[in-house]
Amino acid sequence: MSDTATVPAGSTTAGPDSAPAADTALVRRRIRRWLALFVVCLALSGLTAFPLQTETSLLARLVDATGLDGLSPALDAWVHHVREGVATGYGDYPFLAYGTDWLAFAHLVIAAAFWGPLRDPVRNVWVVRWAMLACGGVIPLALICGPLRGIPLFWQFVDMSFGVVGVVPLLIVHRMIRTLEWQQAVATHHDFARVVPCP
């Protein structure tokens, strides 16, 4: 995808006077809000990978307490299987938790990469595009590695939903960045035309 300024779909920008500074500031605020939401969710998904044993134990108790074990025996069996596997693995081989520690750290590092788009979304639009590709990569990863690791199909869809849901704010942000890029290009052209008049 080209980084050159093009008129976004549905844009009504027709000239330098139709992209006032107030509109640009509004677009920037909206971009920051959507990116902040994405970063917070990404950081939380990373932080929750640290206390994995506690969380799987709480999840198993929650399934039992809410009656989901009777409504969905497959879900109940899987949750308890995971709880036992994590408890046994972490108990007998605590170094296994080190792997999920790095998983959590990776999420936090990825979240930190969005500092660039938060500061200058147009210049750092590549971060948003890279994240969109990563969201798309979640689907083949789940479909290929899930069966190899014995993950039930319904849980593979849960995993894939993170990529599907995660790409939504990124698509919204990307569209707004293209709008902002166009507004900046129009404003730059207008300023240049005033400083360097045609002969």
Cβ neighbours of residue 24 under 8 Å, at least 6 residues apart? Answer: 180, 183, 184, 187
- Residue among 187, 47, 42 nearest 128 (CA): 42
Q: What is the pTM of this model?
A: 0.79
pLDDT tens-digit readout, 123-173: 999 999 999 999 999 999 999 999 999 999 999 999 999 999 999 999 999
Angle between helices 21-47 and 153-195 (to 10 degrees): 150
Contacts of 20 by beta carbon, 8 Å cutoff, 6+ apart: none
Higher-pLDDT residue of 69 and 197 is 69
Q: What is the pLDDT of residues 60-70, one digit of tens each?
A: 999 999 888 78
Neighbouring residues of 70: CB distance < 8 A, sequence distance ≥ 6 = none
pLDDT in tens, 70-96: 888 988 999 999 999 999 999 999 999
Q: Which sequence spans correspond to the domains of the chain?
A: 47-111, 113-191
